[in-house]
Amino acid sequence: MLVEDDDGDAETLERAFHKAGIANYTISRAVDGIEALEMLKGENGKSKLPSPYILLVDVNTPRMNGIQLVKALREDERLRRSIVFMLTTSKRSEDRTAAYDLNVTGYIIKASGSQDIQLATLIDVYRRVVELP
């Protein structure tokens, strides 16, 4: 799942997955933490997404930001094992510390071009190599 409010950033990342030759992914997108939780839980008319969950979460989204979303995930018995990579342009140490305090898998500064392809490849390798819950 991609939690990203910026259409351009979301499209760029989706293109990176295709350019990296990773076409077997269905990327579900939420624009903020509230919509992400609705999709993960199957609430408010949203179809529940199948688990295990790997989330790419923008730190700065409206209504419920990425840090608040990860807190909600960690407090929910069914969702606490979700694998979360934070994506951000923020280099604020407070954001990074808060993310790692919530046991995120990685805190990644958004880039462009080949770095997006590297990110897509990293996620693919992670998914194939790690034993998910």
* Cis amide bond preceding 133, omega within 30: no
Residue 70 makes CB contacts below 8 A (sequence gap 6+) with 57, 84, 86, 99, 102, 104
pLDDT at 112: 64
Mean pLDDT by groups of 10 residues along the chain of 133 residues: 93 86 80 95 86 90 96 95 90 92 93 77 88 78
